[in-house]
Chains A and B, each alone.
Chain A
Amino acid sequence: MEYSFEKHKIFGAIEADDQYWRSLEDGEFKLPRCSACKKWTWPAHYRCGSCGAWEFDWVAVEPKGFVFAWTRSQYAFDRVMERKSQIPYVTVVTEIPAAGGARVMGVLKGDDQHLHTGQAVRGTIDVPSEASKWYPSIRWEVIREESRREHRR
């Protein structure tokens, strides 16, 4: 299978996350965990900074977590002009306890009123589209019944 994101490849940053996008495009949410010491590494990298191993297992994770941070974009920014018609849209950073607290970004789906850090969210996968630069993407949606009380620091 030819992957959409590979045909629209964005270069920049560490560039070790191809398997993340490939999995998403296959309909699976996977994150990398060190094959040796089992520590989660996110964003993906080439070597485990904890034990020094070079191999990672891409492990299927249930896309559930808590809102760690979010912003509602109100302006059409230069390099994400594809989202212009969606303004205002909300991007969420979700903390995923099942993956060592990895924080994964995604555009919010559904009700964005009263959004707050600590709220429980569930992810679904969107197929590649122009808005997501022809990459697949995870979308977070608030689960009303659950939320986490976080301690202020």
Chain B
Amino acid sequence: VTPFRGSTAVVGIGQTPYYKRGTSPEPELKLALRAITAAAEDAGIDVRDINGFISYASERSDPAKLMPALGTREVKFASLVWFHGGGLPATLNIAACAILAGQADIVAIYRSMAERSSQRLRVIVAQNDTSPQYLVNGLESPAQILALRAQRLMQHHGVPRSALYATVAASYHHAKNNPRAYGRSVQMSPEVYDQARLISEPYRLFDCSRENDGAACVLVVSSERARHLRQKPAYILSAPMGTMEGGGALEENWRPYYATAGQKELADRMWKESGYTANDVDVAQIYMNMDSMGIGSMIDHGFFAMEDAGAFCTFDNLIAPSGKLPINTSGGDLGEGFIHGMGLLPEAVRQIRGTSTNQVPNAKLSLVTGGPGDLMSSTALLGAQETL
């Protein structure tokens, strides 16, 4: 057992509403302030006492800009996790390491996006770091690049379209019960899915995550401190980050994994550190920049083998309260909204608290995966007190 396992916990969550991309009534920095103050209020913590700040990818609302408005007494620790949505669960890793090493006490993990403030797609998502090998050949968007991987997953490995649809149907089913979900009014059906416009084959519109403005935040403290706070703690059992040999900035040359998510070694480390297996997980928030990539994540995490994807990924298996593996119970990146995946973390915490709008009864182990197929990724397992 590592010193990491279970020694920190998430004790506060805060979210702004999701707005359609480019329509936020407030600028990005103000959204970040709202999410952080909401998380502090939820935790019963004075927002001025937050002394660690962590985000990922190319977050623009840095702690220097936030602290005057938060009344921050002292910033003791600040860090940004490298790359894109792959960095999401790794933020928990950095927060826990900082707390364990005595470098910070109350850490805010947050992500804020509002297109008008920051030219989101060009700068915030792509980071102006796309190789000419893609751009010269008509490829620029994650939708197109991940479509290549989806084609491989489907044509070469034989994962059926029905598996992709099941994840979409489950996401929108969950979104219906979630008043925050931007896609809550979508009536998903095989016809709606099949007739949606093509984006980059094999992806149609509903295979892709939404694009929203908004912000979300979670607060991490030591487990000892967590026990004296207002909310039921969601303990961080494991939150590894990384990339295996044969991955990294290799454009379309990842080996041996290509069509899945590049998270197999990460997941193996997580199971080992946490002491649990895929079979023990009660509920999972699976990052879905694109649905097929989420299926790759579930394969890498050992929920099912590649050849069983069609049999496992059915609507009934993927929905709360009693599916084999309820996923994306807030609606997730497809149905709830997408601020670079950050909505998944608070939902994973709500499942431990028992406050999700699609609650899995008595959920004790709650998984949240990072951006699949990212240059570097991460994954995290949260647990209730009993799992320590």
Contact = CB atoms under 8 A, between A and B. Distances in A.
Interface of A: 5, 10-14, 17, 21, 42-43, 68-75, 77-80, 83, 86, 88-89, 91, 93, 101-107, 116-118, 131-133, 135, 137, 150, 152-153
Contacts of B137: 91, 105-107, 132, 137
Contacts of A70: 148, 151
Given A71-B139, A75-B198, 13 more contacts: A12-B130, A13-B131, A14-B249, A42-B253, A69-B149, A71-B144, A73-B138, A73-B144, A75-B143, A117-B156, A132-B137, A133-B132, A133-B136
A59 B378 CA distance: 37
Interface of B: 121-122, 126, 128-141, 143-144, 147-152, 155-158, 197-202, 249-253, 255, 258, 306-307
Given A43-B250, A79-B130, A133 B151 contact: no
Q: What 10 pairs between A and B have smallest CB-CB spacing?
A: A13-B131, A71-B147, A74-B198, A79-B140, A69-B148, A72-B201, A10-B132, A69-B152, A135-B136, A83-B138
Given A12-B129, A91-B144, A107 B138 contact: yes
B152 A21 contact: no
8 contacts: A12-B132, A12-B135, A70-B151, A79-B135, A83-B138, A91-B137, A105-B137, A137-B137
Given A10-B132, A86-B138, A105-B134, A152 B200 contact: no
Given A12-B128, A72-B200, A105-B252, A89 B122 contact: no
Nearest to B148: A69
A146 to B, nearest CB: 17
A66 B198 CA distance: 25
Given A73-B144, A78-B122, A79-B140, A93 B133 contact: no
Among A17, A21, A70, A107, find the residue whose CB has the most chain B CB atoms closer than 10 A.
A70
B84 to A, nearest CB: 14
B139 A80 contact: yes
A69 B140 contact: no
A70 B251 CA distance: 14
Contact of A103 (B128, B143, B252): B252
A107 B158 CA distance: 24
A135 B133 CA distance: 10
Contacts of B151: 69-71, 117
Contacts of B250: 43
B258 A69 contact: yes
Contact of B135 (A17, A73, A80, A153): A80
Contacts of B157: 152-153
Contacts of B158: 152
A74 B197 contact: yes
Among B141, B198, B252, find the residue whose CB has the most chain A CB atoms closer than 10 A.
B252
A77 B249 contact: no
B220 to A, nearest CB: 33
Contacts of A105: 133-134, 137, 139, 251-252
A43 B131 contact: yes
A17 B138 contact: no
A129 to B, nearest CB: 10
Contacts of A150: 156
B156 A78 contact: no
B131 to A, nearest CB: 3
Given A69-B151, A78-B122, A132-B136, A12 B252 contact: no
A79 B137 CA distance: 11
A135 B306 CA distance: 38
Contacts of B202: 71
A108 to B, nearest CB: 10
Contact of B132 (A21, A72, A101): A21
A93 B252 contact: yes
B201 A71 contact: yes
Contacts of B136: 10, 132-133, 135, 137
